[in-house]
Amino acid sequence: MNIDEIKEILPHREPFIFVDEVLEVSDTNIKAKRDIRADEFFFAGHFPQEPIMPGVLMVEAIAQTGGVMLLRKNKGALPLFMAIEKARFKRIVRPGDTLIIEVELLRDRGSVVKIAGTAKVNDELACEATILAGIKT
């Protein structure tokens, strides 16, 4: 799934869309990627002399990837954070890195879902998080 197909599903737009391509997807799992470019808006202030992707944006990339999985059959719905559980940051992410994001659906209660995801660079864990989200239709 390319960026244009992703934009048909997610309500996010530049500069706040953090999924470039979906590599695999099913009803309960998804694998996607995000190429981290040197011209990303957040590097101007985080940090100018040593650019590092903010951890919270890695969590956002996990959430958006989960959103693609969950919303592809419910286009037009709005995913909303309810809770971020067990977020851990293990590796610095810099310009030129590629995040591989994998998300699994843990629980689906209709308008509330729980997902677990990881973001890796070269098979090295950069971030992991469990997220509760509401789906507003």
The CATH number given to whatever domain includes residue 36 is 3.10.129.10
Q: What is the pLDDT of residues 86-123, one digit of tens each?
A: 999 999 999 999 999 999 999 999 899 999 999 999 99
pLDDT of residue 121: 98
Q: Could you tell me the pTM of the whole model?
A: 0.97
Give the per-residue pLDDT at 76.
83
| DSSP character at residue 45 | T
Average pLDDT over residues 38-59: 97
Asked whether the predicted pLDDT for residue 75 surpasses 90, the reply is no
Domain that holds residue 64: 3-136
10 Å CB burial of residue 103 (0-12, 13-18, 19+) is buried
Structural domain total, the chain: 1
Q: Which residues are catalytic?
A: 46
